[in-house]
Amino acid sequence: MEQFDLVLKDFANWKMDNWEVLERFKETGSYIYERFEPVYAVLNHIYERAVELGELDEERETIFSVGLNYLHAQFEVIKIYYEKLFDSNCEAFEAFMPLVGYLLFIADFRSDLEEVEDSLNFDALNEAETLIENMIAERRQTFDYAGEKLNEAIRGIIEHLDFEYVSIIDIFVEIAENLNIELSTNESFIVGEDI
What pLDDT sits at residue 41? 95
Residue 124 lies in a domain: yes
Q: Mutual orientation of helices 58-80 and 3-27 as an angle, nearest 10°? A: 50
Residue 191 lies in a domain: no
Q: Residue 6 and residue 98: Cα distance in Å, rounded?
A: 35
- Give 51-99 pLDDT, tens digit per residue: 888 778 899 999 999 999 999 988 888 888 888 888 888 788 888 989 9
Instruction: State the total domains in the chain.
Output: 1
Do 94 and 30 form a contact (C-beta atoms < 8 A)? Answer: yes
- In terms of residues, how long is the chain? 195
Q: What is the mean pLDDT of residues 155-179?
A: 91
Q: What is the mean pLDDT of residues 100-126?
A: 88
Task: Return the HEC string of 122-188.
Answer: CHHHHHHHHHHHHHHHHCCCCHHHHHHHHHHHHHHHHCCCCCCCCCHHHHHHHHHHHCCCCCCCCCC
Instruction: Compute CA distances 179 → 63, 168, 182, whole Å.
Output: 12, 16, 9
Residue 148 lies in a domain: yes
Residue 125 lies in a domain: yes
pLDDT > 90 in the chain, percent: 46
Residue 57 lies in a domain: yes
Residue 50 lies in a domain: yes
Q: Residue 90 and residue 77: Cα distance in Å, rounded?
A: 15
Domain range for residue 106? 3-178
pLDDT > 70 in the chain, percent: 92
**pLDDT classification of 23: cutoffs 50, 70, 90:** confident
pTM of the model: 0.81
**pLDDT classification of 165: cutoffs 50, 70, 90:** confident
Residue 192 lies in a domain: no
Do 190 and 173 form a contact (C-beta atoms < 8 A)? Answer: no
List 193's β-bridge partners, or say none: 191
Residue 193 lies in a domain: no
Q: Is the pLDDT of residue 195 over 80?
A: no
- Give 26-58 pLDDT, tens digit per residue: 888 888 888 889 999 999 999 999 988 877 889
Do 147 and 102 form a contact (C-beta atoms < 8 A)? Answer: yes
The whole-chain average pLDDT of the chain stands at 86
Q: What is the mean pLDDT of residues 124-128?
A: 95
